[in-house]
C-alpha cells in the first residue's frame, strides 16, 4: 500500500473514532456529523464491524496457537531444551514480526496483524515459563505473571493496543494478589503501582471498556491486599468503599460543559466511573445491611482492620477535592447525576456505621438508609430524565431490600404475605405510571 493511501486510511479511521466522542461532548450536531461521515467514509475493511472482526481474528489466532502447541506437545518431552526454547521463541517473534507488518508496516491486514501481535504476547507467557523450566529458575509463582504483565504493558503503551491493555490488567491483578500474600507490610503498594501504570493509558485512549477493566482490576487488587495485610473483612470492605468513593467522585466531578484537555478524557470516562461507583456502593450496602454481616465487618475496637480506615478517609478527602475543583469551574451540575451523588453520600454513611459503637446496630441502619437513598435517587432521576434503566434499577433495588429484610427477620407469615402483596402491587402500579409518563414525554418531544 502506498504511504499516502495508508495515511488516508489511518486518518479516516481516527476521524470515525472521534466523531461519536464529539457528538457526546456536544461539539458537533447530528447534521455536521452526517456530513463528515459521508465526506470521509471508512474503507470497507475498517467499517463498523471492526471490533467484532478483531475479536474473531483474535479468537482464530488463539485456536491456531492452541492447535500448534498441542501438536508440538505431542513429542515435547523428546525435544532437547534448546530446541524447545528456540521453537517457542521463534513462534513469538514470528507472530510479532508478521503481525506488526500487516498491522503497521504495509497496513494491508490491520486487524489480522493486530490479532497476531496479541498472539505473540500470549506466547511470550509460555516463553517465560519455558525459560524458567530450562534454566531451573526458582521463584514465587506470581513472578512469571509479573514479567508477562510487563511485556503486555509494554505492548499496550508502544502500540496503543487495547487487547494488550486488557491482558496487562488481568495479569497484573493476578501478580498483585500473589505479591500481597507474601509481602504483607507492602501489600497496599501493588494496587497503587497497578493504577499508576494502567489508568493513564486508558485516559489517553479514552476507552471506556479499558477504563472499566482497569478500575475493576485495581479494586480487586486493593481488596485482596487489604485482606492479606489485615486478615479482617472490615479492611476489605473499607478498601472497596475507598475505590467506590473515588469512582463516584470521578463520575460527578467531570460533569462539565465542553471541558478541554485531560478534563475532556475524564468527562468521556465519567459515565463508566459513575456506574462502577454506584454498583460497588450498592453491593457493599446490601451486604452490610444484614445484621450478621454487619457484626462481622464492623471495625469493633479498631483492631488489625482499623488502619485501613486511613486510606478510606484519604479517598473521601480526594473525592471532596475533586468535587471542590469541579465546583470552582462554574459549569458543574451534580444534580444531573443524583445516583452517583447518593453513592458518594452512602460511602460516608457506611464508613460512619462501621466506626460508630455499637457498630452492628448503626451499620445495619445506615446501610439500609444507603440502599433507600440509592433507590430513591435512581427513581427520581429517571423520572425527571424519562429513562428506563435507572428507574427499574431503583425499583428492583427497593424491592430487593424490602424482601431481604422480611426474609432475614422472623415475623408472622400473614404479615409477610401482606407486605409482599403490597410491594408487588406498588411495583406494578409505579411501573405502569412510569411507562405512561414515558410515552407521553416521547410523544411531546416528537410533536
The rounded percent of the chain whose pLDDT value lies above 70 is 63
| Torsion of the alpha carbons at 420, 422, 427 and 433, rounded to the nearest 10 | 170
What pTM does this model have?
A: 0.73
Residue 387 has pLDDT above 90, yes or no: no
CA dist 248 and 276 (Å) reads: 8
Q: Which letter, b or e, does each residue of 258-271 get, where b requires 16 or more Cβ atoms within 10 Å of its Cβ?
A: ebeeebbbbbbbbb
Contact 187, 180 (CB under 8 A): yes
Residue 4 has pLDDT above 90, yes or no: no
Mean of pLDDT values over 39-46: 52
The DSSP code for 441 is: H
pLDDT at 285: 92
Least confident of 162-171, 193-202, 242-251, 409-418: 409-418
Residue 16 has pLDDT above 70, yes or no: no
Q: Report the chain's mean pLDDT, rounded to a whole number.
A: 75
Residue 183 has pLDDT above 50, yes or no: yes
Residue 348, judged by CB atoms within 10 A of its CB (0-12, 13-18, 19+), counts as middle
Contact 278, 343 (CB under 8 A): yes
CA distances from 31 to 27, 28, 37 (A): 12, 8, 10
Q: What is the pLDDT of residues 66-104, one digit of tens each?
A: 666 665 556 566 767 777 778 778 888 988 898 888 888
Longest CA–CA span in the chain (Å) reads 80
**Rg (Cα) of the chain, in Å, rounded?**
26
Q: What is the pLDDT of residues 245-260, one digit of tens each?
A: 888 888 887 655 555 5
Residue 46 has pLDDT above 50, yes or no: no
Question: Per mean pLDDT, which of 12-26, 44-58, 119-133, 299-313 is the most reliable?
Answer: 119-133
CA dist 270 and 182 (Å) reads: 35
Residue 442 has pLDDT above 70, yes or no: no
CA dist 251 and 262 (Å) reads: 15
**Element spanning 142, H or E:** helix 141-159
pLDDT at 152: 92
| Torsion of the alpha carbons at 144, 148, 151 and 157, rounded to the nearest 10 | -130
Residue 326 has pLDDT above 80, yes or no: no
CA distances from 74 to 67, 88, 127, 134, 246 (A): 11, 15, 18, 18, 51
**How far, in whole angstroms, is CA 334 from its chain's centroid?**
22
Residue 418 has pLDDT above 80, yes or no: no
Cell numbers given for 211? 477504563
Amino acid at each position: 500500500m502506498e504511504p499516502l493511501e495508508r495515511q488516508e486510511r489511518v486518518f479516516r479511521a481516527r476521524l470515525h473514532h472521534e466523531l461519536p466522542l464529539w457528538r457526546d461532548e456536544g461539539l458537533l450536531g447530528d447534521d455536521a456529523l452526517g456530513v463528515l461521515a459521508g465526506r470521509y467514509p471508512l474503507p470497507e475493511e475498517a467499517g463498523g464491524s471492526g471490533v467484532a472482526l478483531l475479536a474473531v481474528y483474535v479468537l482464530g489466532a488463539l485456536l491456531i496457537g492452541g492447535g500448534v502447541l498441542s501438536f508440538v506437545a505431542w513429542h515435547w518431552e523428546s525435544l532437547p531444551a534448546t530446541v524447545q526454547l528456540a521453537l517457542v521463541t521463534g513462534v513469538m517473534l514470528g507472530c510479532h514480526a508478521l503481525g506488526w507488518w500487516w498491522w503497521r508496516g504495509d497496513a494491508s491486514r490491520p486487524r489480522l496483524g493486530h490479532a497476531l501481535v496479541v498472539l505473540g504476547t500470549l506466547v511470550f507467557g509460555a516463553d517465560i515459563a519455558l525459560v524458567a523450566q530450562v534454566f531451573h529458575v526458582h521463584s514465587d509463582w506470581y513472578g512469571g505473571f509479573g514479567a508477562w504483565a510487563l511485556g503486555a504493558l509494554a505492548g499496550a503503551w508502544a502500540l496503543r493496543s487495547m487487547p494488550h491493555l486488557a491482558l496487562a490488567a488481568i495479569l497484573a491483578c493476578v501478580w498483585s494478589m500473589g505479591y500481597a500474600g507474601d509481602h504483607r507490610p507492602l501489600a497496599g503498594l501493588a494496587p497503587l503501582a497497578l493504577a499508576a501504570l494502567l489508568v493513564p493509558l486508558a485516559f489517553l485512549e479514552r476507552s471506556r471498556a479499558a477504563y472499566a477493566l482497569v478500575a475493576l482490576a485495581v479494586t480487586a487488587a486493593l481488596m485482596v491486599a487489604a485482606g492479606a495485610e489485615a486478615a479482617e473483612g472490615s479492611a476489605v470492605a473499607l478498601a472497596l468503599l475507598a475505590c467506590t468513593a473515588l469512582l463516584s467522585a470521578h463520575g460527578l466531578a467531570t460533569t462539565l460543559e465542553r471541558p478541554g484537555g485531560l478534563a475532556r478524557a475524564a468527562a468521556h470516562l465519567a459515565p463508566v466511573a459513575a456506574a462502577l461507583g454506584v454498583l460497588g456502593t450498592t453491593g457493599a450496602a446490601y451486604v452490610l445491611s444484614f445484621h450478621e454481616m454487619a457484626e462481622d465487618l464492623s471495625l469493633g475496637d479498631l483492631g488489625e482492620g482499623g488502619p485501613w480506615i486511613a486510606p478510606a478517609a484519604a479517598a473521601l478527602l480526594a473525592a471532596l477535592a475533586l468535587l471542590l475543583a469541579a465546583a470552582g469551574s462554574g459549569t458543574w451540575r451534580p444534580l444531573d447525576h443524583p445516583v452517583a451523588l447518593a453513592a458518594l453520600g452512602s460511602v460516608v454513611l457506611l464508613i460512619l456505621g462501621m466506626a460508630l459503637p455499637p457498630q452492628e446496630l448503626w451499620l445495619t441502619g445506615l446501610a439500609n438508609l444507603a440502599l433507600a437513598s440509592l433507590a430513591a435517587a435512581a427513581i427520581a432521576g429517571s423520572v425527571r430524565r424519562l429513562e428506563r434503566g435507572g428507574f427499574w434499577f431503583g425499583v428492583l433495588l427497593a424491592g430487593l431490600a424490602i424482601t431481604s429484610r422480611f426474609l432475614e427477620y422472623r415475623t408472622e407469615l400473614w404479615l409477610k404475605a401482606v407486605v409482599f402483596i403490597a410491594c408487588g402491587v406498588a411495583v406494578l402500579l409505579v411501573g405502569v405510571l412510569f411507562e405512561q409518563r414515558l410515552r407521553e414525554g416521547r410523544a411531546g418531544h416528537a410533536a
